[in-house]
Structure 1
């Protein structure tokens, strides 16, 4: 298998397990599939979530920053939701549960990436200016998942739903997709929307 899943920080995993074990956290989650799931739920496929800092045609090289870890929450048959964690002054903590199209899209992109050579480290990369989420296949499979810059050999796979004109589930070299994204980002102070889920 060419993917190398980096283990999530233990406190991040513990915080998700604690939330799954809390009837209050699950009941108050706005995820009907999670509330109605039968049988045990388990967090799987931990992925570091990075945010792409503002990019532009004449700006500095794009940089990323780690903002959290995402776990797909599975019942006996399939992923029914996801759980995000975030870093605080006290360490990693549970943030929220959610569901939606990015759950199935992430699973599909990971399955597709397993057939690609060479070996990659999967991450998620959020591009807030375009309200876009990609599977980032980092070429250095042994790199620290918390650090990292976009490297020329990396691949970005836009997840569905992707912005108009950008094909979902099609791998792009970093430079190629950055060129397309740069043309779509309007000038100005930055996005008013949050990162995609």
Structure 2
């Protein structure tokens, strides 16, 4: 069933499109795929980016906070990068382009989600403490994309690369995956092991 993709705020979309039209932004060293992409580039599939907080707070439900909107940048029939926008005191503004495994993984997870029998609203949900990004499929497809928290029957699809022991591209109900994340985050670190470094 097709996903109900929420519309991005117009200023966020305009800032992403303006960056795509800027030779200076396109030539950023972090995005060689944009410099070499043939044909016109388009910003599509806007996804709110939420961060999951308070995962291990005893007796308190986790909460989310909106940190930006991400657009897949397509060249022809594939995504080659993503454009990130952020909320500033003056409104939505372009933040940066990036590429890497999460771009292709997001595109794959969206295709998988479209094959599900129910209608969902897609968002991205980040768990920074685990260096983890998931496609969050909200059962309430008409929910305000800037508000709310994961409901028990919402689905989370970990994107690749996923943390060790958590399978990427498998849909998990929030009620099933959240306790695993809580346990993982509250476990004491192994002796002699340092903190993981971000990808």
TM-score category of the 2 structures, normalised to the smaller one: over 0.9
Structure 1: distance between partners of 2:15 and 2:35: 18
Runs of 5+ consecutive residues of structure 1 not aligned to the other structure? none
Show the counterpart of 1:116: 116
**TM-score, normalising length: structure 1:** 0.93
Aligned length: 193
Q: Post-superposition shift, 1:116?
A: 1.0
- Quote the RMSD (CA, aligned, Å): 1.8
Show the counterpart of 2:154: 154
Q: Is contact 2:54–2:60 with CA below 8 Å preserved after alignment?
A: no
Q: 1:146-175 CA distances to partner (integer Å, 9 max, x unpaired)? A: 111111110000000000000000010102
**Residues 130-149 of structure 1 correspond to what in structure 2 (within 5 A)?**
130-149=130-149
Show the counterpart of 1:45: 45
Structure 2: distance between partners of 1:59 and 1:132: 23
Q: Is contact 2:47–2:123 with CA below 8 Å preserved after alignment?
A: yes
Q: Which segments of structure 1 move beyond 3 Å, counting only runs of 4 or more?
A: 191-194
Q: Post-superposition shift, 1:58?
A: 2.3
Instruction: Determine whether 1:33 maps to 2:21.
Output: no
Structure 2: distance between partners of 1:10 and 1:193: 35
**TM-score, normalising length: structure 2:** 0.92
Relative distance call for 1:17 and 1:29 in structure 2 (3 A) is farther
Q: 1:2-21 CA distances to partner (integer Å, 9 max, x unpaired)? A: 41000100000000110011
Relative distance call for 1:193 and 1:15 in structure 2 (3 A) is farther
Q: 1:97-153 CA distances to partner (integer Å, 9 max, x unpaired)? A: 000000110011000101112210000000001000000000111111111111111
**Residues 72-151 of structure 1 correspond to what in structure 2 (within 5 A)?**
72-151=72-151
Instruction: Determine whether 1:18 maps to 2:13.
Output: no
Q: Post-superposition shift, 1:184?
A: 1.1
Q: Post-superposition shift, 1:77?
A: 2.8
Structure 2: distance between partners of 1:111 and 1:130: 25
Q: Secondary structure at the match of 1:176?
A: helix
